[in-house]
Amino acid sequence: MITGIVEFFENLPPKLCSNCGKPIEEQHECYGNTCFTCIGLKDLD
Ligand SMILES: [Zn+2]
């Protein structure tokens, strides 16, 4: 069961940020196509 879920997510195309173009690792439907860094919710290292 768990393996099937993992495969499902791995098969999803990478979601790219509409602002910086980087892949969005932490997907959240509320934030659309913008990554957390661009939104300002996640500080850069
Ligand atoms: Zn971004």
**Beta-carbon contacts of residue 34 (< 8 Å; ≥ 6 apart):** 17, 18, 19, 24
Beta bridge partners of 23: 16
Domain span at residue 32?
14-45
In a domain, 6, yes or no: no
In a domain, 38, yes or no: yes
- What is the distance in A from the centroid of ligand 1 to the CA of 19? 5
**DSSP symbols for 1-45:** -HHHHHHHHHTSPPPBPTTT--B-SS--GGGTT--HHHHTSS---
Top-confidence residue, 5 or 35: 35
User: Which of 13-22, 25-34, 35-44 tops mean pLDDT?
Assistant: 13-22
- What is the distance in A from the centroid of ligand 1 to the CA of 2? 30
Q: Give this prediction's pTM.
A: 0.49
Across 15-40, average pLDDT: 78
- What is the distance in A from the centroid of ligand 1 to the CA of 12? 19
Count of domains for the chain: 1
In a domain, 1, yes or no: no
